[in-house]
Amino acid sequence: MVAYVVRRLAWGVVTVLGVLLLLFALFFLYASPEQMARRAVGEKAPPDALQQWIENHGYDKPKVWNPEDPLDTLLFEHYRRMLTFDFGRSDADDSPILDQIRERAVPSLTLTVPLFVIGLVLGIVLSLFVAFFRETYIDRAGIVLAVLGMSVSILLYIIGGQFLIGKLLRWFPISGFDPNPVLIGRFMALPWVVGLLSGVGGDVRFYRTVFVEETGRDYVRTARAKGCGDGRIMARHVLPNSMIPVLTRVVVAIPFLFIGSLLLESFFGIPGLGSMTVDAIQGNDFSTLRVMVFIGALLFILGQIATDVSYTLVDPRVRLE
């Protein structure tokens, strides 16, 4: 197993190198250092100021190839800094990126972790319930509701949620964030509800399919022939055997909890990593952007490995070599 993990990590490193290259290419396809300088310093800034900014931020080097000193290129710098975790400063406001990450991680996690946990439990419980009653009216109604839920754009959930609860009923504020633990719930309630509603349809649809498939298997028939009750069958036989597809879907999502939800944070004014990323994109802030993508890629690869390892925990037939 250790050999497997090591091999996957090595492959992961290669992938990350590829990701960084792609990112570099994409970014410099559409943004030039002049544009970035102008955004940071100001549209009307004199050429010297722009040039100064460019030099300060090290964007005056050739992009890929420098005949005088092959190592003195933007590309090389790009790789060097990322691989040494030297995140540097944001292009937009010169703030140290690492500090920004530390500050913004908490709001993001406050949003995503409870959302994830509740969503997971809710999804599985509802799906077990619906799968248990498969082919009956409960099941059919459940599927229809799930498809209905899946078919509504998250935008509409957000707009609807903000309008209904924020404006009409005035139960919760429609946006903003307060780190005070007592008040957090109030600000998170709406994003949580919106996140849950928009996700539960797709989850139930997926889990139900998995559970129903397992319910039709021979060993379930054996369990019934032994005298197992239906509740016991769902919990002790179906669920444990469904874990592989469930884990595949779930474990990969965990690392991204850290990045936060780009959409929910932007809409609801939550100062987390997600909104920072969106700002970076719209502001051509390459420094910040590459850090976020880099972290995202790392987390993704870790998530993949974690998923594979988790398979061995739930299914004795799986062996990683």
Partner 1 sequence: MSEAVLSVRDLVTSFPIGDRRVPVVDAVSLAVAPREVLALVGESGCGKSVTAHSILRLVPRPGRIDAGSIRLAGRDVLALPVKEMREVRGRVAAMIFQEPMTSLNPVQTVGDQVVEAIRLHERLSRRAARARAAELFESVRIPDPHERIDAFPHQLSGGLKQRVMIAMALALRPQLLIADEPTTALDVTIQAQILELLRELQREFATAILLITHDLGIVNELADRIFVMYAGKIVEEGGREDVLARPRHPYTQGLLRSIPSLARRDEPLAEIPGVVPPPAAWPAGCRFSTRCPRVIERCHGEMPEMTSLSERQRARCWVVADEVGR
Partner 2 sequence: MQNVVVVALLLGAFLTFRMARRNDLWRGAGRELRRRRPLALAVVLVFVVLALLDSISWIGGGSAEDEGNALARHKPRSVIDRLFPADFRERSYSAPLADVEFYGGAPLLHPRSHLLGTDILGRDVLHLTLKGARIALLIGGFTSLIVIPLALLLGISAGYYGGRIDDAVFFLISVLASIPSLLLLIALIMALGRGPVQVCIAMGVTSWVGFCRVVRGESFKLRELDYVQAARALGVSEPRIVWRHVLPNLMHLVVITFVLLFSGLVLSEAILAWLGIGIDGSWGQMIDQARDELSRDPIIWWNLAAASVALFGLILAVNFVGDAVRDVLDPRTLREDR
The residue (of 139 and 230) whose beta carbon lies closer to partner 2 is: 139
Smallest separation, CB 119 to partner 1 (Å): 25
Binding partner of residue 319 among partner 1, partner 2, none, CB cut-off 5 to 8 Å per kind: none
By CB under 8 A, tell whether 240 contacts partner 1: yes
The residue (of 58 and 202) whose beta carbon lies closer to partner 2 is: 202
Binding partner of residue 29 among partner 1, partner 2, none, CB cut-off 5 to 8 Å per kind: partner 2
Binding partner of residue 223 among partner 1, partner 2, none, CB cut-off 5 to 8 Å per kind: partner 1
The residue (of 119 and 161) whose beta carbon lies closer to partner 2 is: 161
CA angle 195, 199, 200 (to 5 degrees): 115
Q: Which of 205, 208, 237, 290 binds partner 1 (CB under 8 A)?
A: 237
Binding partner of residue 293 among partner 1, partner 2, none, CB cut-off 5 to 8 Å per kind: partner 2
User: Other CB atoms closer than 10 Å to residue 286's CB: what's the count?
Assistant: 23
Type of residue numbered 106:
V
Which residues make Cβ contacts (< 8 Å) with residue 301, sequence separation at least 6?
8, 9, 12, 15, 16
The residue (of 222 and 282) whose beta carbon lies closer to partner 2 is: 282
* Start-end of H helices in the chain: 2-30, 33-41, 47-56, 74-83, 97-132, 137-151, 154-161, 181-215, 218-226, 230-232, 239-251, 253-256, 262-268, 273-282, 286-314
By CB under 8 A, tell whether 319 contacts partner 1: no
- What is the maximal distance between C-alpha atoms in the chain? 84
Output DSSP code: residue 313.
Answer: H
By CB under 8 A, tell whether 241 contacts partner 1: yes
Chain contacts with partner 1 (rule: CB under 8 A): 134-135, 216-219, 221-229, 236-237, 240-241, 314-317
